[in-house]
């Protein structure tokens, strides 16, 4: 049995009642005769799989006038943390809940039209929206597990086939976003600049600092790593926000578009063919979508989600693969802006490279955490014994100590641990 199943998930919201669900389903199916017969509610994700929202799966049984026989299906409900949860205070300062509701209600359907009609890719791009409830900061959308979509293992990471599929879909997403912005110049003007680092808020600063300090403590267990890197990590504690904001600043000449902003393993779902090969990838969780460089998505994805040898040894080839897919898609959507050369795009990728250090040293260890402690943003923020125990456990596991022996030298060779 997984250790995750022994931990208490966030409770489902109290307003998620049969009456509420019946009302939303009547609207979604356009059938006022729908009667909800049974409603089953259960958590949709495990420990360590999401630090920014509550995911609940609802299984519904209903009848309609057109079909007296009981029908059954299921949906996912995404909600915010309770108002008093420390995570809610951090996330609200980034406008993530309003942004994701805008994405599902206004942006994603238009993006899907561009991908389907102009890029002639008829595969799903995202889950269909059942209901957006702004009063409750919640979204109900289709459960793609019914179509045999599933999330890859966040611990094993993605191989080359999965990585190429994601990069191809990402290129289409980025091209469609760029085209949409040309056609509606102000569509991303409001609330699309707040990635994890930005000039408006530093809500994530305590999280960044606390995790870097836990990383520094873990180096006490390896005298070689301590001697080579502890001073650099300690210096980074006070400068991580400055470096992050510099990396996410838009420079003159940058190619920019709508980016996902939080592209890692559990925010991608895959469908497989009869031979077991991935045939489609869709993106989920659009809380941190932003108007910025696509290099941000690439660094974040490479650093958190793909096999380590691909990240360290095949990065330039993967950028080239993505770039040619992007250029082809931009031409298909008749993008009129300037398209950079591969050389220019590789340079742009290098200027955003601190995002790789941030993602691999701060977020990735929490993403792959599989220990016995409660994995939550509250524990990252807390200085209690329980909170310190979790943060220490994140970095002091045997697997993470092994990874640090590779990732710290890799990042250091790129100059990403030095003063910038």
pLDDT (0 to 100) of residue 45: 67
Assigned CATH for 92-127+151-413: 3.90.1200
13 falls in which pLDDT band (50, 70, 90)?
confident
Residue 114 pLDDT more than 60?
Answer: yes
pLDDT (0 to 100) of residue 4: 37
Distance of CA 107 to the CA centre of its chain: 17
Residue 304: CB atoms within 10 A of its CB come to 25
Closest CA to 16 of 109, 136, 106: 136
Summarised one tens digit per residue, pLDDT across range 123-180 is 998 998 999 999 988 999 999 999 999 999 999 999 999 999 999 999 999 999 999 9
Summarised one tens digit per residue, pLDDT across range 215-262 is 999 999 999 999 999 999 999 999 999 999 999 999 999 999 999 999
Residue 141's φ and ψ, nearest 5 degrees, are: -140, 165
Residue 5 pLDDT more than 50?
Answer: no
pLDDT (0 to 100) of residue 254: 96
CA angle at residue 194 from 190 to 200, to 5 degrees? Answer: 90
Residue 62's φ and ψ, nearest 5 degrees, are: -150, 165
Compute the radius of gyration of the chain from its Cα atoms.
22
pLDDT (0 to 100) of residue 103: 94
Quote the mean pLDDT of the chain.
Answer: 91
pLDDT (0 to 100) of residue 212: 98
DSSP strand pairing (268-272 vs 278-283): antiparallel
Report CA-CA distances (Å) from 273 to 19, 147, 149, 238.
39, 12, 11, 48
Please indicate, yes or no, whether the overall pTM of this predicted structure exceeds 0.75.
yes
Residue 49 pLDDT more than 80?
Answer: no
Distance of CA 187 to the CA centre of its chain: 22
Q: Own/partner pairs for 310-319, CB < 8 Å, 24+ apart?
A: 310/159, 310/160, 310/163, 312/406, 312/410, 314/160, 316/346, 318/163, 318/167, 319/345, 319/346, 319/349
1 falls in which pLDDT band (50, 70, 90)?
very low
Closest CA to 346 of 383, 316, 376: 316
Q: What are the extents of the domains in the chain? A: 92-127+151-413
């Amino acid at each position: 049995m997984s250790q995750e199943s022994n931990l208490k998930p966030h409770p489902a919201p109290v307003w998620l009642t049969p009456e509420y669900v019946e009302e939303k389903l009547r609207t979604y199916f356009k059938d006022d005769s729908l009667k909800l017969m049974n409603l089953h509610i259960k958590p949709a994700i495990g420990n360590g799989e999401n630090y920014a929202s509550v995911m609940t799966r609802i299984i519904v049984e209903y009848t309609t006038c057109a079909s007296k026989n009981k029908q059954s299906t299921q949906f996912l409900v995404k909600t915010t943390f309770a108002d008093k949860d420390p995570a809610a205070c951090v996330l609200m300062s980034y406008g993530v809940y309003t942004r994701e509701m805008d994405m599902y209600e206004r942006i994603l359907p238009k993006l899907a039209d561009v991908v389907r009609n102009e890029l002639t890719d008829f595969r799903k791009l995202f889950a269909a929206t059942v209901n957006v409830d702004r009063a409750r900061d919640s979204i109900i959308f289709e459960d793609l597990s019914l179509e045999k979509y599933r999330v890859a293992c966040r611990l094993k990471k993605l191989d080359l086939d999965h990585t190429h599929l994601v990069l191809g879909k990402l290129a289409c997403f980025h091209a469609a976003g760029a085209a949409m912005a040309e056609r509606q110049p102000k569509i991303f003007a409001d609330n699309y600049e707040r990635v994890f680092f930005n000039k408006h808020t530093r809500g994530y600063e305590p999280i960044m600092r606390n995790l870097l300090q836990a990383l520094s403590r873990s180096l006490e267990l390896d005298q070689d790593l301590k001697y080579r890197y502890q001073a650099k990590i300690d210096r980074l504690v006070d400068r991580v926000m400055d470096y992050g904001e510099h990396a996410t600043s838009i420079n003159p000449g940058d190619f920019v578009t709508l980016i996902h902003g939080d592209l890692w393993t559990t925010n991608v779902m895959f469908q497989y063919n009869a031979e077991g090969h991935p045939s489609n990838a869709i993106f989920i969780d659009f809380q941190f979508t932003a108007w910025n460089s696509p290099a941000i998505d690439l660094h974040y994805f490479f650093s958190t989600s793909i096999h380590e040898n691909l990240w360290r040894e095949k990065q330039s080839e993967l950028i080239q693969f993505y770039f040619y897919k992007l250029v082809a898609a931009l031409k298909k959507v008749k993008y009129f802006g300037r398209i950079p050369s591969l050389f220019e795009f590789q340079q742009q990728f290098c200027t955003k490279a601190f995002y790789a250090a941030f993602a691999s040293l701060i977020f990735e260890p929490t993403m792959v955490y599989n220990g016995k402690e409660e994995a939550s943003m509250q524990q990252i923020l807390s200085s209690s014994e329980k909170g310190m125990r979790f943060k220490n456990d994140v970095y002091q596991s045997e697997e993470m100590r092994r990874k640090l022996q590779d990732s710290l030298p890799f990042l250091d060779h790129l100059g990403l641990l030095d003063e910038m």
